[in-house]
Chain A
Amino acid sequence: MATKTSQEYEELIKGIWRENPVFVQVLGMCPMLAVTNSAINALAMGMATFFVLVGSSILVSSFKSLIPKQVRISCFIIIIATFVTVADYTLLALVPTVHKALGAFIPLIVVNCMILGRQEAFASKNTVRLAALDAVGMAGGFVVALFTLGAVREVLGSGSLFGISLFGDSYSPWVIMILPPGGFLTLGLLLLLFNWISLKREQFLDAVTAAERSGI
């Protein structure tokens, strides 16, 4: 029982850092860069992707024995497209302004390679429970990455967060950050930071093991 719980925990937690879909696997980049010019857009996009990924993972893993192997990709895509259509119309009804700002990028969640990747690599091979946990973890990691990027770009590019001004009138915004080049540059630098932290962590762990060994 204990091992089962720990495996479930492992599936849930791995998406946040160790196998983060954006920073480690570099998947789902298109929506990632296009909608992160403000924190609120990034969050809305993250929520929509979260819903689609968790919903389609649960559905795919429950129907996995019914889907013929030859046409599985098409089946996954149709399931994903259905959830995206639901998310699209829900956002249109609840938050029309955000829906307008995201524009064509909501329908484009369908071709987010991260979602199809999880169906193919995980949901179609595991139980519903594990697939749901995995989807929640991966989507969580995606939301974290999306929000970080959106917040950094909004703070630098317009000097505000969620539309609330942070620095007062004397701050002159770094406009390039909310324009397309800023997206590439910020994500590049964030990846660099992520690599650096991972490297330092590894070195630290190595040093600890070495110290333990020499101590014993």
Chain B
Amino acid sequence: MQDLFWIFISALLINNFVLSYFLGLCPFLGVSGSLDTSFRLGMATTFVMLVTALCSWFLNTYILIYAPYLRLISFIVVIASTVQFIEMLVRKLSPALFRALGIFLPLITTNCAILGLAIFATNRSYGLVEGLVFALGSGLGFTLAMVLLAGLREESELSDIPALIEGTAMNLIIAGILSMAFMGFSGLFSAA
């Protein structure tokens, strides 16, 4: 139980996917314009991450022990088709949720945080429950980072910024400072 809590906190804060592994930077920099959308995208990503953890555990346990060199290809194909399937399912079962997630659901397939999650979970040989907890922690960590950056960006739009630094350059510098703040969490646990 303690191990699970540890995995969760570590994925959420200490080894935050965005701010210390640099995964999922495209949506992090691209879609973090407003608080509302970034929160919704974060939630959708968390959901896909949980499903991916389930799929990758299944693949690893039953199929890939026979053909390890197919790992990458099978992961990406399975993730893409699962996302497609979930999209169809959500559209049929709950149109309201589908509208809320919008274009973000299909776009999540190409988010490197998803494939990264599957690869990290495999490399650390997590079991099913550990993998799911890891996915939940990473997803919420991604959401946290997105919401923080979106908040700062909304704030910065009201202030007077030189035209030269506006846009990606400034977002990156803000992200750098955020990442520095998150480094403070690394003392939370003694063992790595």
Contacts and interface: CB of A to CB of B under 8 A. Distances in A.
Interface stretch (B1-9, B112-120, B125-133): B112-120
Given A111-B110, A181-B183, A184-B175, A30 B80 contact: no
Counting chain A CB atoms within 10 Å of each CB, the highest count among B26, B72, B123 belongs to B72
Given A108-B116, A111-B76, A181-B177, 11 more contacts: A29-B29, A30-B24, A34-B23, A104-B120, A108-B23, A112-B112, A113-B26, A184-B172, A184-B176, A185-B177, A191-B168
A211 B165 CA distance: 29
B47 to A, nearest CB: 18
Given A26-B168, A180-B183, A188 B173 contact: yes
Contact of B112 (A78, A111, A176, A199): A111
B164 A26 contact: no
A189 B164 contact: no
B160 to A, nearest CB: 17
A85 to B, nearest CB: 5
B22 interface: yes
Contacts of A182: 176
A181 B77 contact: no
A178 interface: no
Chain B interface category by residue count: 35 or more
Counting chain A CB atoms within 10 Å of each CB, the highest count among B77, B177, B179 belongs to B179
B66 interface: no
A206 to B, nearest CB: 16
Contacts of B29: 26, 29
Contacts of A104: 116, 119-120, 123
A189 B173 contact: yes
B69 A89 contact: yes
Contacts of B69: 85, 89
Chain A interface category by residue count: 35 or more
A187 interface: yes
A195 B162 CA distance: 12
What 7 A-B pairs come out closest when comparing CB atoms?
A184-B176, A188-B172, A185-B176, A188-B173, A181-B180, A111-B112, A191-B169
A31 B173 CA distance: 18
B73 interface: yes
Contacts of A187: 172
Nearest to A73: B80
Interface of A: 26-27, 29-34, 74, 77-78, 81-82, 84-85, 88-89, 103-104, 107-108, 110-113, 116, 176, 179-185, 187-189, 191-192, 195-196, 199
A78 B19 CA distance: 29
Contact of A110 (B76, B164, B173, B179): B76
B170 A188 contact: yes
B152 interface: no
Given A78-B73, A85-B72, A192 B165 contact: yes
A82 B172 CA distance: 32
B169 A113 contact: no
B19 A180 contact: yes
A107 B117 CA distance: 12
A199 B115 contact: no
A180 B173 CA distance: 12
A196 B164 contact: yes
A188 B76 CA distance: 31
Contacts of A77: 76-77, 80
Counting chain A CB atoms within 10 Å of each CB, the highest count among B112, B114, B180 belongs to B112
Interface string B43-58: 0000000000000000
